[in-house]
Structure 1
Amino acid sequence: MLATTYNGLFIEQDGEWKQILNGFQKRIRDLHSEDNVVYGVGDEGIFIRSMNGGENWTVQRFPTKATSWNVCSNIEGTVIAHGDKTLYHSNDFGSTWEIIHPFLEYGGGAPSIRSLFLYKHYLFIGTKIHAKYGGVWLFNLETRKLKRIKIVMNQMISALTLHNSYLVAASGSCKGISGNISFCKIDESIESEKTYWHTCQSEQKASSYLDLSVDQHVLYTTSTQNKAGISTVCRVLLEEGIVTVCDSVKGHGWRIVNEKEGYVVAGSGESKAMQWKKKVV
């Protein structure tokens, strides 16, 4: 297991944690792995990569001062990260990079990128709050064509993932309690001119949902903290169309990763590990 803190990157092996990347100053916002290849992105365009399961790392910088919230990849060596309005695309496990401007035609009014999800040669892009071009966009990496598949102008799209045959989006804003989980058929979003989205009913309202994690048909999400400084860990049941609370964590629920029903959630105030029917704090 890998974990990132303000003090750097840590790896857990046989119950023991050890620090790696000593002297590392930038915050890592996302980690993503394909077998033994691990990628990380974070503040001011930082990109890190390990080809051996986290033992050794290379550190690079993208030409941006923006925070990169997401990195996605596949086993063939495709890696995609983002700047503010740009994409960084590699086909060789992050050794060389191409800069792509998916929103170039929108000029200075282009939306800022908040989340990414790679499916075959299609890249789904979730935006930050944008009064005109906010929502979810689909970018074809082969044809370089872009289309908008979800219009959301008063919320950010904080996370995207695939659950069964559905594209799932987590969204919200810092104002109100209108955060939601929505989903659509992923093939329909690619092939059809119009995409139909469905919104889950939440058992407990939140300003925003922040992350999504799926493993073996089990889908979890996390939320922003409430006025008491507590956020929720929720199970998402798309078949029933509901989001049900199963745990809480101090601070914002920044990241979650699961293995079947078990999960580890990283909150801004604490982290929790839950084995099925057994909590480990």
Structure 2
Amino acid sequence: MFNKGSTAVLSTPDIPFIVAVKKSGIYSFEEGEWVLQYGLSQDIYKLVRLGRFIFGIGDYGTILRYEPYQKKWTHTTFSVSQRLWDIAGNDKSLIVTHGGSKLYMSRNYGSSWAVVKPFASFSAPPLILATEKVFDVRFF
């Protein structure tokens, strides 16, 4: 299984750790065994805990949201060919990620998303390569 390589790992107080495995999915280590939690054909490059959720982001606009207490996965895909490189949020339910020259923003921990095009008026929009780790809800 791990001969494919892992692409992201996260440990939380609730889950000893979860690992994203290249073109395979998200696995957890439970009672000495690896358990497939969510199968995927896209790679996930970052896992992060925001609020009570765990988010994974990766290829082709893929966003995963996991609610550990209900053990429920939600899979969102934006129609972009780019990888989502980073995701950040705050304790007021704001989540922001980016792909290409667009920002994807949620005000409800990823239950719904809006597209923000800050460079729409540019003839050649720049690519956004990173997001800040702290957001002020009043900014958006």
1:115 matched residue in structure 2: 130
- Larger RCO, structures 1/2 (Cα 8 Å, 6+ apart): 2
Give the whole-Å Cα distance in 2 for the aligned partners of 1:33 and 1:41: 12
User: Under a length normalisation based on structure 1, what TM-score does the superposition of the two structures give?
Assistant: 0.40
Change in 2 beyond 3 A, CA 1:75/1:62: same
1:55 Cα offset (Å): 3.1
**Larger relative strand fraction:** 1
Q: State yes or no: 1:8 paired with 2:25.
A: yes
1:73 matched residue in structure 2: 89
Change in 2 beyond 3 A, CA 1:97/1:113: same
- The percentage of aligned residue pairs carrying the same residue is 23
Structure 2: gaps of 5 or more residues: 1-16
Aligned pairs for 1:124-203 within 5 A: 141-142=139-140
Q: Give 1:87's aligned amino acid.
A: L
Is the partner of 2:91 in helix, strand or coil?
coil
Computing the radius of gyration over CA atoms, which structure comes out larger, 1 or 2? Answer: 1
Match of 1:41 among 26, 47, 57: 57
User: Under a length normalisation based on structure 2, what TM-score does the superposition of the two structures give?
Assistant: 0.77
Change in 2 beyond 3 A, CA 1:53/1:32: farther
Superposed CA RMSD in Å reads 2.1
1:101 Cα offset (Å): 1.3
Q: Give 2:139's aligned amino acid.
A: L
Change in 2 beyond 3 A, CA 1:40/1:98: same
Q: Give 2:27's aligned amino acid.
A: F
1:202-258 Cα offsets, whole Å, 9 max, x none, are xxxxxxxxxxxxxxxxxxxxxxxxxxxxxxxxxxxxxxxxxxxxxxxxxxxxxxxxx
Q: State yes or no: 1:93 paired with 2:109.
A: yes
Tell me the number of residue pairs that the alignment of Structure 1 and Structure 2 aligns.
123
1:35 Cα offset (Å): 4.6
Change in 2 beyond 3 A, CA 1:113/1:14: farther
Is the partner of 2:126 in helix, strand or coil?
coil
1:114-133 Cα offsets, whole Å, 9 max, x none, are 211231317xxxxxxxxxxx
2:12 matched residue in structure 1: none
Change in 2 beyond 3 A, CA 1:103/1:53: farther
Change in 2 beyond 3 A, CA 1:96/1:14: same
Q: Give 1:118's aligned amino acid.
A: K
Give the whole-Å Cα distance in 2 for the aligned partners of 1:15 and 1:117: 37
Would the aligned equivalents of 1:38 and 1:54 in 2 still touch at CA under 8 Å?
Answer: no
1:138-186 Cα offsets, whole Å, 9 max, x none, are xx833xxxxxxxxxxxxxxxxxxxxxxxxxxxxxxxxxxxxxxxxxxxx
1:14 Cα offset (Å): 4.8
Would the aligned equivalents of 1:2 and 1:54 in 2 still touch at CA under 8 Å?
Answer: no
Would the aligned equivalents of 1:44 and 1:65 in 2 still touch at CA under 8 Å?
Answer: yes
Match of 1:17 among 4, 9, 34: 34
1:161 matched residue in structure 2: none
